[in-house]
Structure 1
Amino acid sequence: MSTEGSVGRAFAPGHITGFFEIHNDPLPQKRGSTGCGLVLDGGIETTVSECVDMTEIFLDGIPVVAETTRAVVDKLVDFPVKVSCTSSIPIGCGFGASAAGALSVAYALNEAFSLGLTSNQLLETAHVAEVTNGSGMGDVEGQSQGGIPIRLSAGCPPYGKLDRVPSPPFEIFCVVLGELSTGSILEDRTIMNEINSAGREALRSLLSKPTLKNFMLLSKQFTLRCGLASERLLDAIEAVDAIGGLSSQAMLGDTVFAFSGAASREEVIGSLKEFGDVITYNVGSCNRLPLNV
């Protein structure tokens, strides 16, 4: 039920996937991906309020179609709303922006109009919108966790199961080189067969040694094997490796993300600067012990 004058606000973090395997299922709640990624302190902040004529969605003040976010709105309310999203992550570049938009609008609607839904119900709504629109397959689940979430089984609760790589907070350095079409890649059977095989092996290897360093190394191996990286992205990975850092490709985007590893943050930023503007995010965790990679 709508409440006149109600306003809801919510934030959902960005999520960078290092490697993944797609799991298709007729039931969208079971459809999704397994794999591992990083949850960022940047993301999408969303404000919703009821409006008179038709539902409008704005991203950084500009009207957008945002089919995944709109699908969440249509599922949760039967009256027009104004959705205003502010992003602190790049759009369409492997940061899970569509999932962050869907998840944040679900929480904002629940707050504004007292929908009485649980977190798992809101997560399910965002997940179904994401997989049915082909904008992603597992970011929503990752974003519901902190740190380095491991997606052990596909789908939203109760089907999807998650764990985490233990790690204290750390910085990730990113350079966006361009965009990749998630939909076109997910529709290519040959590419997906290779991705699924590589993702399955990477997850098995990570579970045998769940550390940040191993995650970064396995993500790089996944990137090289799947062949989705541009030449410039491969050059950026090589530049970071040369100074003792660890880097890989954000899936699915033409974006490099890097961790300092044996290098200093200044050395990593310096190695990435020649490829573009370096964006820094924090990855948080409850573990405050000395970093062990």
Structure 2
Amino acid sequence: MSVFVPGHITGFFNIENHDSKLKNGSCGVGFLVSDGVRTTILESDSFDYEVNQGDDTIIREILNILNLESNDFKIVQEIGLPIGAGFGTSAASALSLTLALNEFLDLGYPKDLCGQIAHMAEVNLGAGLGDVIAQTGHGLVLRTRPGAPGIGEIESFEHDVYIAWKTFGEIETSSIIQDPIHKKAISDSGIKYWELFKKDPSLKNFLDFSNRFANETELMSGEVKELVYYFNSLDNILGSSMAMLGNTVFAFAYNEDAFKTLNIEGLHIDKLNNVGIVHD
């Protein structure tokens, strides 16, 4: 049994804290990319796991929530994006694992409940607030109500566009979303652009508001700011900003050649993922 969950990049967001972990989350706007996390569950005589990068923190957390530590199977996770760079890899790991285990073990859980388990793992570990529910959508995703799947709400918008991204390394998400100063700056700016985007959910507004948010919150490193500025100076680039929360730059264009002609080392060219989760 294999389940693929795409990576998710947030452009802007606000933090919505709540006593209930399932209502704890964020509202904002982001998009799905073609790479992500694939989890495969295999028959085995004893419990085992194999992860191509990172550690087993998410796996252990999901197994603990599901109380499945004594079961015999092998978990294989292929993470196709940089960890800690703003791609929602921990959420994709949690969600793909929960969905795959649900089918492999015939647990009979509804899709939303699987999403809630993954969301709870994310909140428990301080890894993220809104990636799980966004990853249940496709294309450009507006999180209209905070919380886990089945509690929070999203709207998805399809666009035929190319994406380029380059990462300069990791940012520890928990160090940002749990810091009072960062939380206030993020929420004040994020709620403003979230309200504006809901009135006119265009691709242009997403890119414009993402860039304004990144500047207002002062989360961009010098190297990220320099590349974002460069992208935004080019006529054939629709817009560019920083992945929240990661030391990563993203840019959009209608034509793939707009990125292929650039001499930028480590630049990855992708397309907006209008499909979402895939069960194999």
Tell whether the structures are fold-level matches, with TM greater than 0.5: yes
State yes or no: 1:251 paired with 2:244.
Answer: yes
Counterpart amino acid of 1:282? K
Q: C-alpha displacement at 1:78, in angstroms?
A: 4.2
How big is the shift at 1:266?
2.8
Cα deviation, residue 12, structure 1: 0.7
Q: Distance in 1 between matches of 2:158 and 2:105?
A: 37
Residues 73-82 or 169-178, more deviating: 73-82
2:234 maps to amino acid:
I
Question: What stretches of structure 2 of length at least 5 have no aligned partner?
Answer: 276-280
Whole-Å Cα distance in 1 between the matches of residues 217 and 133 of structure 2?
A: 23
Equivalence map 1:140-219=2 (5 Å): 140-164=132-156, 166-219=157-210
Residue 224 of structure 2 corresponds to residue 223 of structure 1 = no
Is 1:266 matched with 2:257? yes
Superposed displacement of residue 56, structure 1: 4.0
2:122 corresponds in structure 1 to 130
Does residue 13 of structure 1 match 2:6? yes
Counterpart CA distance in 1 for 2:270 and 2:116 is: 27
The amino acid that maps onto 1:277 is G
Match of 2:56 in 1: 66
**CA apart distance, 1:101:** 0.4
Secondary structure class of the residue paired with 2:148: coil
Give 1:270 deviation, angstroms: 4.2
Q: Deviations over 1:28-80 (max 9, x none)?
A: 11001110100112110111235455x544222x6x53322321122222424
| CA displacement at 1:27 relative to structure 2 | 0.9
Does 1:119 find its partner at 2:111? yes
Q: Count matched residues.
A: 271
Q: Does the CA contact (< 8 Å) of 1:258 and 1:268 recur in 2?
A: no
For the 8 Å contact 2:62–2:98, the answer to whether it is kept is: yes
Q: How far apart in 2 are the matches of 1:94 and 1:56?
A: 28
**Larger RCO (CA under 8 A, 6+ residues apart):** 2
One-letter amino acid matched to 1:22: I
Alignment partners' CA distance in 1, 2:150 and 2:35: 27
Aligned partner of 1:280 in structure 2 is: 269
